Amino acid sequence: MKQDPENTGNAPIKLTFHKEERLCSKKIIEKLFLEGKTFLTFPIKVVYIQNPVPSKFPVQAGFSVGKKIFKRAVHRNFIKRRMREAYRLNKNELYLQMGDKQMAVFFIFVGKTIPEYALIESTMKKSIKKLINEIS
């Protein structure tokens, strides 16, 4: 397992995405889309709101792919799986900057073709960096 360079203890960084980290609450999702702020790092649109979420994790995340562009559920699920994986591997940078703040964030894929994983990962890294800049 990887070690955190800032962490002086022996606790390894866990690259997991627990159920509690997933954004499932309809009330929070509704509030997110009504009052949340957005930005675009193509092909991912990010909607976020700093809000106390009922979770022990500082960020709850949701992922979506439009049914209008990708008619087949197989393709939508494939892209969402890649987005979740890219988020899981890069979320630690965001968690370190959050402190005791909490946030709900939604990642929406707005591209027109099925992308390579490298594109999704680089875009997710840019989105997370921009998110860190927005909250600080």
Structure confidence by residue, pLDDT tens digits, 66-94: 999 999 999 999 999 999 999 999 999 99
Q: Look at the pTM and tell me if it is higher than 0.85.
A: yes
Q: What is the pLDDT of residues 86-128, one digit of tens each?
A: 999 999 999 999 888 899 999 999 999 999 999 999 999 999 9
The DSSP call for residue 12 is P
For the chain, domains (ranges, CATH) are 20-135 (3.30.230.10)
